[in-house]
A and B are shown apart, each in its own frame.
Chain A
Amino acid sequence: MSYLFDEEKGARYLLMGNDAIVRGALEAGVSVASAYPGTPSSEIIENLSKASDKRNIYVEWSVNEKVALEVAFAASIAGLRSICAMKQNGVNVASDFLLHVALSGSRGGIVLVHCDDPGALSSINEGESRHFAKMIELPLLEPGDFQEALEMTRWAFELSEELGLLVMLRSVTRLSHASGNVRIGSLPGTDKTACFKYDAVPGDQASGPVVTMPVPPHHEALQRKLKKAVALFEKSPFNTYTGPEKPELLIVTCSACNLYSREAVRLLGAENRVGILKVGTTWPLPPDLIRKNLSRTDTILFVEEVLPFLEENVKILAAEMAKDIGVKTFHGKNDSTIPMTGEMTPDLVVDAIKRILKIDYAPMPETFRNKAREIAAKMAPVRDLTFCPGCPHRASFWNLHNALEIDNRRGFVCGDIGCYTLGLLPCGFSTSKTSHSMGSGIGIASGFGKLTRFGMDQPILAVCGDSTFFHAALPALVNAIHNKSDVIFVLLDNSGTAMTGFQPHPGTETDAMGGNVPPMDPAALCRSLGATVQYADPFDVDATQAILLRLMEEKGARVLIMQQMCALSPEKKGKKKYRVSVDQEKCIGDRCGCSRLCTRVFRCPGLVWDADKGAAVIDEVICAGCGVCASICPAGAIVREEAV
């Protein structure tokens, strides 16, 4: 039985944090779910989509996070419960709308799940999304383990309805993508009706038009709701204290850091010396809870990711309460007891506690540690990120790199967000020179393309994937065309949102629930905007480079669509187009004069250098059979035959 449909209350499952959130939403009777995919949040909507039929849920991959939130909000003010999920920087995209949602209030329970990625394990930023809760004035919940991920999600919908306000629920990679045992609750009925009521006066929370004007009374209402949230949070079972009545050290923590703190205390055998206050309702903070727990001791350690959010907010309360609770010594990020950047680990908490309490502890004997490190330095070569074998992006960047080299005017590529972000690394021949937010490649390129009046004569290219194109590149492309910016926009069309697991997007033929939808044609869109559009198959190396060189001679906004399906695509995976081999007679290795171009520069994981033979060889297990390497060998030693 899948955890999505099991009706047996109390049944036990091993669930990923994201799945626990999914189950919590199902138990709350969610009716609408929307998101734009982003690691580590993507599985939430993906798995809700599997329940869309049986649980009567409308599930959608929206074009971007702002629209996703708008879609979820519509359901809320039509009286349904809705959930919207995104990664940390998605909240930035949605934030303008979020600001207004806070003011206007909501009806059916609406929960925004935002998953941060401390340590940037799958991101190009270490954004801290919790500050939005404080800045925009919304209640914020942070589950401290897998069971809480389910229970807090379920409760978040009730809370949202009680307050008439969207509730933010923050997860992190180590909770969203980690798994633990969870006991499920029961599932409600699925029969629901939507109706948007607007007949009462504006400002009538239940049945008036949903607006933010006049602002002052709406803002006052928002603040009353937050006061009510504080009162509810004071009694919340998701704020827990474990430890002795009067510990020497009080850890104040939340989210996955709760698990690290517990682990560290047990590892040090300090259960009788250290207490842990795990806060589940991190904004607005309930002052009585903080007062009671800060009164236990005078030494406090904050353990959290990413920025000192809990730390700073508790300190403000502590200053206000100083007359009652006395002066405290605080440790955390601000005094460098806990690192300000990177993800937390149990070991970092161990280090902090042992320094504060002067405990002697070494995770491994020094002789073992030194020897193990020495061996690893010698025998475990670093694994740099690279494109998968058969990835069209390797070929695309090979073409871009070579065309720019031949053109020889110091042209460059503005990168964007997706697997092809790696275009800035050696695996992409270091072709991309900028990399920022979704759609920013063409936005920055649009600006570069107007710098000709200041003497800038470098060819400007921007790359972008097919999903990113719809998400945020379109307005920037419109800008480039409208302002007659001299840019080449290269759409790396690999037929899906490959990085996050092939979610559909407006250019694909299916929606999140598997239904048929009309695919939008990026080429037709670009042409209608006034750009010239050409196609290339990046695996056809010569033709693609010729097109690029020709485009670089032209002016204005030019679009080149490089089309080739992702190597991991479910439609392509496992099927090799070519059987590739190296003719050991023709590959004369170091005597060739190519200086091992294929392995030294092209760097496909499936094509390796055999030092014993002094020649290149194909690794059969890894090679995906794209055949591109056959085009790059100057000696023609790499042979490809159509696979049958």
Chain B
Amino acid sequence: MTKRTILKDPYNIIITGVGGQGNVMASRMLGSALSRKGLFVTIGETFGVSQRGGSVMSHLRVSETSAWSPQIPAGQADVVVALEPAEAVRVMAVYGNSGVKVISNTRPIYPVGVIAGDMAYPPVGKIREALLELTKDVVFVEATDEAMKMGQPILGNVIMMGALAAAGVIPFDDDDFKDVLSETIKPDRIDMNLRAFARGREMALQASRSNG
């Protein structure tokens, strides 16, 4: 992997999901990995009350020259990583464009209004079709389902990071992830995280191939 190359300056990444999915953790690990390469990284996050059932979105700006605004301007996302599928759709309406790359988890987290029966949540297949109307580049990964198989649903965020690495759009690979892990989490959890990351990468590559 080359030391520091980005496809566009600034390169804009949105990691979106629902409070409690490990969104902030994922954006910080990715940000640290890119920052270590000498790139300028700016991360905008919302947390606090937003964790209580709300949408949580992190904006990452990656640049070779300077810090950028912690909020990405409308229409300027380059890649959207959605830890929850409906959140991908929500993000596209504000930050999307026809060239954006979407990597989405398949497992819904139902908004409380859906649970109460006030609103409907579309089938995930329909969400996928809708996203494909907006951009050609859509990859779905069964991240939470796979994490449950590994015994820890929270690893869904790490699997999605692996899927992002597979896209090859940013200088971010297994070794980068390993370096950051060793600084941020307990040693006994590193191996599990690395496996989840590798699994995410494999699954995304498979999904991209089957997309043709």
Interface size class of B (residues with CB under 8 A): 35 or more
How many interface residues does A have (CB within 8 Å)? Answer: 70
Q: Which residues of A contact B208 (CB under 8 A)?
A: none
- Interface residue ranges of B46-60 to A (CB < 8 Å): 46-55
B119 at the A interface (CB under 8 A): yes
In the complex, A263 Cα to B114 Cα: how many Å? 37
Whether B116 pairs with A121 at a CB distance below 8 angstroms is no
Assess A384 versus B134: contact at CB under 8 Å? Given A375-B92, A376-B89: no
Whether B116 pairs with A426 at a CB distance below 8 angstroms is yes
Contact of B109 among A145, A146, A596, A605 (CB under 8 A): A605
Assess A368 versus B153: contact at CB under 8 Å? Given A380-B89, A385-B52: no
Whether B97 pairs with A39 at a CB distance below 8 angstroms is no
Question: Smallest distance from the beta carbon of B26 to chain A beta carbons, Å?
Answer: 13
Whether A177 pairs with B46 at a CB distance below 8 angstroms is yes
Task: Output the nearest chain A residue to B145 by Cβ-Cβ distance.
Answer: A621
Contact of A364 among B67, B74, B122 (CB under 8 A): B74
Whether A146 pairs with B112 at a CB distance below 8 angstroms is no
> Beta-carbon contacts of B64-85 to A below 8 Å, as 1s and 0s?
0001111111111000000000
B181 at the A interface (CB under 8 A): no
Interface window among A333-341, A342-350, A398-406? A342-350
Whether A179 pairs with B42 at a CB distance below 8 angstroms is yes
Q: Which residues of A contact B50 (CB under 8 A)?
A: 121-122, 385
Question: Smallest distance from the beta carbon of A366 to chain B beta carbons, Å?
Answer: 11
> Beta-carbon contacts of A252-287 to B below 8 Å, as 1s and 0s?
000010011011100100000000000000000000
Contact of A259 among B35, B41, B70 (CB under 8 A): B70
B31 at the A interface (CB under 8 A): yes
B11 at the A interface (CB under 8 A): no
Contact of A14 among B31, B76, B119 (CB under 8 A): B31
In the complex, A256 Cα to B86 Cα: how many Å? 30
Contact of A382 among B20, B40, B111 (CB under 8 A): B111
Whether A621 pairs with B148 at a CB distance below 8 angstroms is yes
Whether B133 pairs with A262 at a CB distance below 8 angstroms is no
Task: Output the nearest chain B residue to A15 by Cβ-Cβ distance.
Answer: B35
Contact of A368 among B47, B98, B119 (CB under 8 A): B98
Q: Which residues of B contact A385 (CB under 8 A)?
A: 49-50, 52-54
Whether B93 pairs with A122 at a CB distance below 8 angstroms is no
Task: Output the nearest chain B residue to A259 by Cβ-Cβ distance.
Answer: B69
Q: Which residues of A contact B40 (CB under 8 A)?
A: 180-181
Assess A427 versus B112: contact at CB under 8 Å? Given A382-B119, A605-B53: yes
In the complex, A500 Cα to B127 Cα: how many Å? 34
Assess A422 versus B52: contact at CB under 8 Å? Given A363-B73, A376-B89: yes
Assess A379 versus B69: contact at CB under 8 Å? Given A368-B96, A603-B116: no
Assess A381 versus B28: contact at CB under 8 Å? Given A179-B42, A263-B73, A364-B75: no
Q: Which residues of A contact B31 (CB under 8 A)?
A: 14, 179
> Beta-carbon contacts of A126-148 to B below 8 Å, as 1s and 0s?
00000000000000000001110
B189 at the A interface (CB under 8 A): no
In the complex, A457 Cα to B89 Cα: how many Å? 50
Contact of B69 among A346, A372, A373, A382 (CB under 8 A): A346
In the complex, A242 Cα to B72 Cα: how many Å? 22
> Beta-carbon contacts of A25-59 to B below 8 Å, as 1s and 0s?
00000000000000110000000000000000000
Whether A121 pairs with B46 at a CB distance below 8 angstroms is yes
22 A-B contact pairs sorted by A residue (CB < 8 Å): A121-B46, A121-B49, A122-B49, A177-B46, A179-B31, A180-B43, A180-B70, A256-B69, A259-B68, A259-B69, A260-B71, A263-B73, A363-B73, A371-B134, A375-B130, A383-B53, A383-B55, A386-B52, A419-B52, A601-B116, A608-B115, A609-B115
Residues of B within 8 A of A (CB): 18, 20, 28, 31-32, 35, 40-55, 67-76, 86-87, 89-90, 92-93, 96-98, 107, 109-117, 119-122, 126-127, 130, 133-134, 144, 148, 153
Q: Give 19 new A-B contacts, CB below 8 A, not counting A40-B48, A146-B67.
A: A177-B47, A181-B40, A256-B70, A363-B76, A368-B97, A372-B96, A375-B89, A375-B92, A383-B53, A384-B53, A385-B50, A387-B52, A388-B20, A426-B112, A600-B116, A601-B116, A603-B112, A609-B115, A621-B107
Residues of A within 8 A of B (CB): 12-14, 39-40, 121-122, 145-147, 173-175, 177-181, 256, 259-260, 262-264, 267, 345-347, 350, 363-365, 368-369, 371-373, 375-376, 378-388, 419, 422, 426-427, 499-500, 596, 599-601, 603-605, 607-609, 619-622
